Amino acid sequence: MTAAYVALEGGHVLEGRGRSPGTARGELVFTTAYTGYEESLTDPSYEEQVLTFSYPLIGNYGVREERFEDDRVHPRAVLAKELTTDVVDWLESEGVPSVDHLDTREVVTDIRDGGAMKCGIAVGEDVTEEDALEQLGQCKGMSEHTDIGAQVSVDEPVVHGADNAGPDVALVDCGAKGSIVDSLVARDATVHVLPYDVSEADVAAIDPDVLFISNGPGDPANYEEAISLVRAFVEDTPVAGICLGQQIVAEALGGTTEKMAFGHRGVNQPVLDLESGQVVMTTQNHGYTVAEPGDHLEITQINVNDDTPEGLDGLEYDVLTRQYHPEANPGPEDTLDFFDDVLAMAPAKTTTAVPADD
């Protein structure tokens, strides 16, 4: 059996079965999702993290590229109770180490008790505990990855739905999932996917009907360019955001954010709408949250489990954000109307009448 060691912050070392080989380091987190392993593994929000699946069997319905949220695997390593050969082959082709035959209940309990933690992974024929501990010693905290956006964003602008007749959306790509773009394009929007550090001048040249800040990994305070964009455009342009996008918008408008103990990652997070009293089930993947919304935003939805903000609306500006992922695949479809509400903020398109021939 191929050796595999997982060194946890604090010195505890776990031993499992090595599947795909290699060494890695990152923040150890877990997801409670029963399905959607392909979507989770290609979610850019997992960049620089080691993903533990709490559900015991991962890979029982194969691997299909059409389910991917991005063109590569983003977690630095993968832990599970049992991984199928299909998933292992995929991870190996991506150079992502994986370990199974672990007591993932113990791993999840450690994270819940101690919070998300640094870890080091070593998988291979000749690896030792010391190799995993060496990786752990080189691991940074998430707040230290000050330019993590560069690892997950497009390098150049990309336009989707160019022939659509609906609003023009400037989507700042801080690690956007493909299904966010698909959800907007399906509603007749033209989506301009822009680098995470796009300039104010380049956004202004598009003259967008909506400025949209995407999901992504890391500390929202490190996305200084996106924060500045929101401040520059919010008075004249509707602003929307998902996940990290909600946190960035809050930071831009006088709110504050904070790191959570172990975050929300799964497909069954209950969210209460404060106006209607309705509870909806949501898909989530985040380790930071809005601590205080500030004077320009109001909290409209909260997490039933811990009361953290799940939805923000602007008090004097056209702003609409969600902490969860309305577009999640697979997952609940209770909140897909978020995209309709976002596009409804856009000014109505006007056309110039062409005079009839005499």
Position 12, amino acid: H
Q: Is 244 annotated as a binding residue?
A: yes
Q: Is 285 annotated as a binding residue?
A: yes
CA distance 308 to 304: 8
Q: Is 301 exposed, middle or buried (0-12, 13-18, 19+ CB in 10 A)?
A: buried
30: Cβ contacts below 8 Å, ≥ 6 apart:
51, 52, 53, 54, 104, 107, 108, 111, 262, 265
CA distance 1 to 350: 67
243: Cβ contacts below 8 Å, ≥ 6 apart:
45, 214, 215, 216, 284, 285, 286, 322, 323, 324, 325
Q: What are 327's two structure tokens?
A: 């577009």
CB 208 within 8 A of CB 284: no
User: Among all chains, which residue has been given the structure tokens 């995993």?
Assistant: 132
Q: Is 218 annotated as a binding residue?
A: yes
C-alpha pair distances (Å), 143 with each of 152, 199, 218, 259, 308: 16, 23, 7, 9, 20
Q: Is 59 annotated as a binding residue?
A: no
Of 337, 46, 346, nearest to 215 by C-alpha is: 46
- Catalytic residue list: 243, 325, 327
Q: Is 102 annotated as a binding residue?
A: no
Q: Is 8 annotated as a binding residue?
A: no
Q: What are 112's two structure tokens?
A: 């819940």
Beta strands 82-83; 3-8: pairing state: unpaired
Q: What are 217's two structure tokens?
A: 């990994």
CB 151 within 8 A of CB 47: yes
Q: Is 135 annotated as a binding residue?
A: no
Sheet holding 168-173, edge to edge: 158-160, 190-195, 168-173, 210-213, 239-242, 319-322, 309-314, 297-303, 256-273, 279-292
Q: Is 245 annotated as a binding residue?
A: no
Of 341, 352, 357, 346, nearest to 166 by C-alpha is: 346
100: Cβ contacts below 8 Å, ≥ 6 apart:
16, 17, 19, 79, 80, 81, 82, 83
Q: Which residues are annotated as a binding site for L-glutamine?
A: 45, 216, 218, 244, 247, 285, 287-288
Q: Which residues are annotated as a binding site?
A: 45, 216, 218, 244, 247, 285, 287-288
